[in-house]
């Protein structure tokens, strides 16, 4: 009897503390409700559309009136001759973007950190950051003008040197590298800021010790700066794994043409043409679902690697 009486007050006190904690945190939970509602409406409710991947979808009949075909859409996609080309293009272009999207900002951040005049340093940092805010609709128009075979500035210089003009955006061999180069040009300013912040967090006494040991500027970078920012580099690299199947729809859509489909077509543009232009909704949804599942696996893998090698955790 005594044991029951001693346990009851303890349980009541625990419930009272939980109730008090809930009352204290209730305003925060209420603040989250609009965000939860937006996620539910715009992220989870549209997932009902996954059903289209397993149907011969007819817009007039809707989700629940269209004929169920199982995995026939996936078999059809696998049998299409261009599917493997598109998948290879997507992985190849995305991997190049990830590699150079990490390497260029790191190198540029190290070089920028060596500039001692703060005004020059801030000016350069601002100039390289501006393209990040411009959409690919604007940048693609600029690039089309620059790379134009008729009056583009690059071909104008080639003609001045007595060389033949090059139709860059219609050359299937050059097109993937144009995509990679222009994407790095647009985004490396953002990455540079991240790595500059990592460099400024390095303990200054390490540089003083290196100078005392007679280390040159190059040796300081090699043995102090690079190891100091390596956890951030590893973190950014592992988190980028989730973008292996994202080669940039907006960029490719605004720059490519049927001439470069062989090397420039990616999964997102492939889905666009099949689904919206050819009205094969079930097939397009099957490709999109395949991409989403693979990307999810890469994201999970990336977070696991980030947790293991960089100590990064969301929860």
Range of the domain at 95: 72-309
Handedness of CA 211, 217, 220, 225 (dihedral sign): positive
pTM above 0.85, yes or no: no
* Ranges of the chain whose pLDDT falls below 50: 1-2, 6-7
Asked whether residue 253 is assigned to any structural domain, the reply reads yes
Q: What pLDDT does residue 104 have?
A: 92
Q: How far is CA 142 from CA 3, 183, 250, 262, 273, in A?
A: 80, 13, 15, 24, 25
Domain final position from 68, 93, 123: 68
Q: What pLDDT does residue 180 have?
A: 92
Asked whether residue 17 is assigned to any structural domain, the reply reads yes
pLDDT in tens, 161-217: 888 888 888 888 889 999 999 999 998 888 888 898 888 888 888 888 888 888 888
144: domain CATH number?
Answer: 1.10.3720.10
Domain final position from 50, 68, 86: 68
Asked whether residue 226 is assigned to any structural domain, the reply reads yes
Domain final position from 29, 52, 68: 68
DSSP per-residue letters across 176-237: HHHHHHHHHHHHHHHHHHHHHHHHHTS-HHHHHHHHHTT--HHHHIIIIIHHHHHHHHHHHH
Q: Which of 256, 247, 246, 248 is nearest to 143 (CA)?
A: 256
Q: What pLDDT does residue 38 have?
A: 92
Domain co-membership, 99 together with 77: yes
Domain co-membership, 24 together with 147: no
Domain co-membership, 50 together with 148: no
Alpha carbons 1 and 86: distance in angstroms, whole number: 74
What is the rounded radius of gyration, in angstroms, for the C-alpha atoms of the chain?
Answer: 27
Handedness of CA 297, 303, 306, 308 (dihedral sign): negative
pLDDT in tens, 126-167: 888 888 888 899 998 888 888 888 778 888 888 888 888 888
């Amino acid at each position: 009897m005594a044991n029951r009486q001693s346990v009851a007050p303890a349980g009541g006190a625990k419930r009272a503390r939980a109730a008090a904690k809930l009352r204290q945190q209730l305003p925060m939970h209420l603040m989250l409700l609009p965000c939860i509602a937006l996620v539910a409406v715009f992220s989870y409710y549209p997932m009902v559309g996954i059903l289209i991947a397993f149907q011969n979808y007819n817009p007039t009949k809707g989700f629940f009136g269209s004929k169920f075909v199982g995995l026939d859409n996936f078999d059809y996609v696998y049998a299409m001759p261009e599917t493997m080309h598109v998948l290879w293009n997507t992985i190849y272009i995305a991997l190049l973007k990830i590699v150079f999207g990490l390497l260029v900002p790191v190198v540029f951040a190290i070089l920028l950190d060596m500039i001692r005049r703060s005004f020059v340093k801030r000016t350069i940092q601002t100039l390289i950051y501006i393209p990040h805010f411009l959409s690919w609709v604007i940048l693609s128009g600029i690039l089309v003008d620059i790379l134009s075979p008729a009056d583009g500035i690059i071909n104008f210089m080639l003609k001045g040197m007595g060389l033949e003009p090059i139709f860059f955006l219609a050359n299937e061999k050059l097109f993937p590298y144009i995509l990679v180069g222009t994407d790095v040009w647009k985004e490396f300013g953002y990455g540079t800021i991240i790595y500059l912040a990592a460099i400024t967090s390095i303990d200054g006494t390490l540089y003083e010790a290196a100078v005392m040991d007679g280390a040159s500027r190059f040796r300081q970078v090699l043995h102090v700066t690079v190891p100091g920012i390596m956890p951030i580099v590893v973190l950014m690299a592992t988190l980028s794994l989730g973008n292996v199947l994202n080669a940039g729809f907006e960029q490719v859509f605004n720059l490519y043409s049927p001439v470069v489909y062989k090397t420039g077509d990616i999964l997102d543009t492939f889905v666009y043409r099949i689904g919206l232009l050819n009205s094969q909704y079930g097939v397009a949804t099957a490709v999109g679902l395949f991409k989403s599942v693979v990307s999810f696996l890469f994201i999970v893998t990336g977070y696991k690697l980030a947790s293991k090698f960089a100590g990064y955790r969301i929860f």
